[in-house]
A and B are shown apart, each in its own frame.
Chain A
Amino acid sequence: MSGPIVGVIGIFVMFAVLFLLRIPAAFTMMLVGFLGVTYVTSFKAALGMIGPDLWNIFSNYGLTVIPMFILVGEFVHYGGYNNSLYYATYRWFGHYKGGLAITTIMACAAFSAISGSNTATAATMSSVAIPEMKKYKYHPMLNAGSVAAGATLGVLIPPSIVLVVYGLYTGQSIGKLFFGNVIPSAILTVLIAATVFYICFRHPEWGPKGPKSTWRERMKALPEIIDILILFAIIMYALFTGVVTATEAAAASCALGLAICLIRKKLTWKGFIASISDTLRISCLVFMIVAGATIFGRFLALTRLPFEAASWISTLDLPNWVLLWIVLICYIIGGCVMDALAFLLISLPIFFPLVMAMGYDPIWFGQVVCIVTTMGAIMPPIGICCYIVAGMAKDIPLGTVFRGSMYYIPAYLISMAILMLSPYWTVLVLSNLVK
């Protein structure tokens, strides 16, 4: 049997195990990758590979940025900054039609500037935003949909775990990826907010106006947003200048985040312990997916499938943009049936060489992939953000959350189209500034 065919069989076996045996995605990739390497080489060679490989992944300096970015988000989360951010944004946007939904999206964006996880953002913002919107009789679809869509910004806006993993996996600069992400994040945030305006235009009764705040109230609400802005600015400045590594920038923002929470007496001992244990748990889950994908990727590389696929695709008589959309459709379908980060890592060994062979910029492709991955979090049937929102809202059924989220899908597709129309002005103009 030729190498690439073994690779294709390996992918089918991996999906079969993943979907039918309830084995976690990370374990499946690791197991099938290990068995695949055994088949292609020998059991002894596979054993000799897996030990050092796992050690190299676990002790990879670049990956230590992950626990640090998760920890700073956890400190801010348990420090109760979600409330402060929500009420501060509410003072500015609450009096518009659908203003509370806009508030939710803007507060999600602000929280995402310090948290790299959409699940943390969904859980955090659901607890504040949903009761508030219920109080003002917002339609459940607008209520839950806006929280779910807003929460997806958690993995998009830097520091984004998806971008970190993408950068480490493909060898791209995290600083460049984060800076290249600023404009796409802004575009998507604006488009999601614009969707709320559109929904309220079509259904004015879905998002009634809230009371108007005075300028004094608005100004008074700003100081706590400044804490978050400082943390965000430190991360971005440090990465921009290149004087520190991404891990050091994340660690410094972590230490500062902890100090701010302690000075402002926002973090309790219980919250501190919960921050640490959540960080360990989430970091471990991400590390294991990276480890699984690396071992599975090594098996695919041995079969030469990614290279053969890339060269085959390049012989097809189709425009590059059509091929790119085929890749993106694969991501959208993949995001519908399994966790987007896991799918990203499973697919990167195949799609990344392919997209590079088409001549696309890796930093730009990272942003497009990040948006499509982000969208997966609200796509039925397994959109994780919708599950979290439905879990937190209790009386809003999951179906309503999914239906509410569907309104925002065009925002993601338009964002991707804008990125494709002008890669330079949307991504490269800022990423090229990073040293």
Chain B
Amino acid sequence: MEILEKIRNLFDKAFLFLGGVAVLALMTLATGNVCLRIFGMPYRGAYELVSFLGAVVTAFALGYTQRRKSHIVVDILTETFSEGRKRILDGISYLMGVLFFAIISWVIFRWGMRIAASGEVSETLKIAYYPFIYCVALGFAFLCLTLIMDFLSALLKKGGNPAS
């Protein structure tokens, strides 16, 4: 469990850093393109790069958002339940999440592999964009790891309650 926690924390920091870099790059690129357009020489690839960076920003924040329990949970009915019952429900919720997002991560990864194999490139810049698809698959895989940790925490009674 401790080793898993250390791995999770390591990935969490790395993904948060990369996501932060991506959001700042997105800001710089979009602003830079506004300035370039003023001088009549807009960067044609900005649209594509901003889109890809947007995907990285969201994908790399998936695990962190789950760790902070920031996703909206409707607990209007369940808030009156006992702590034990809440833990069981949380456990089920985490387990379903693990299975579902593992499938999603795998499906996106496989789709990325297909794009890579076909040699498909982006429309304007003509660059291979499958690495960005892999980033999204990786983000979902990390979300799975975070949910596994949450599931184990709920199971071993170590935190695990939503507390944003």
* Chain A residues with a Cβ under 8 A of chain B: 18-27, 30-31, 34, 47, 50-52, 54-55, 58-61, 63-64, 67-68, 71, 238, 243-244, 247-248, 250-252, 254-255, 258, 273, 276-277, 279-285, 287-289, 337-339, 341-342, 381-382
Q: Which of B59-107 contact A (CB under 8 A)?
A: 59-62, 64-65, 68, 70-78, 86, 89-90, 92-93, 96-97, 100, 103-104, 107
Q: Could you say which residues of chain B place their CB within 8 Å of the CB of A63?
A: 54
Give the residues in chain A near B28, CB-CB below 8 Å.
251, 255
Choose from B50, B60, B136 the contact partner of A64 (Cβ within 8 Å): B50
23 cross-chain CB contacts under 8 A: A19-B74, A19-B78, A21-B92, A22-B86, A23-B93, A24-B72, A24-B73, A25-B74, A27-B97, A27-B100, A30-B100, A47-B103, A52-B111, A59-B51, A61-B47, A61-B54, A64-B50, A255-B31, A280-B57, A283-B23, A339-B72, A341-B72, A342-B74
Given A22-B78, A52-B111, A243-B37, A281 contacting B92 (CB threshold 8 A): no
Contact indicator B108/A254 (Cβ below 8 Å): no
Main secondary structure of the interface of B (DSSP, over half): helix
Chain A residue numbers with a CB within 8 Å of B37 are 243-244
Given A55-B111, A248-B33, check contact A284 B64 (CB 8 Å).
yes
Question: How many of B's residues come within 8 Å of A, CB to CB?
Answer: 57
Knowing A276-B20, A284-B58 are in contact, say whether A31-B30 is a contact too (CB < 8 A): no
Report which B residues bind A (CB closer than 8 A).
16, 19-20, 23-24, 26-31, 33-34, 37, 47, 50-55, 57-62, 64-65, 68, 70-78, 86, 89-90, 92-93, 96-97, 100, 103-104, 107-108, 110-111, 132-133, 136, 162
B64 touches A68 (CB 8 A): no
CB distance from A12 to the nearest CB of B (A): 15
CB atoms of B55 and A58 under 8 A apart: yes
Q: Which residue of A lies closest to B92 (CB)?
A: A21
Cβ of A77 to closest chain B Cβ, rounded Å: 16
Q: A21-B92, A60-B51 are contacts. A280–B72 as well, Cβ < 8 Å?
A: no
Contacts of A26 in B (CB 8 A): 71-72
Give the CA-CA distance A25 to B90 in the complex, in Å: 14
Which 5 pairs from chain A and chain B are nearest by CB?
A: A251-B30, A24-B71, A284-B61, A64-B54, A280-B61
A273–B23 Cα gap in the complex (Å)? Answer: 12
Give every chain A residue within 8 A of B23 (Cβ-Cβ).
67, 71, 276, 279-280, 283
User: B70's contact among A243, A248, A251, A282, by CB below 8 Å, is which?
Assistant: A282
Q: How far is the CB of B43 from chain A (nearest CB, A)?
A: 11
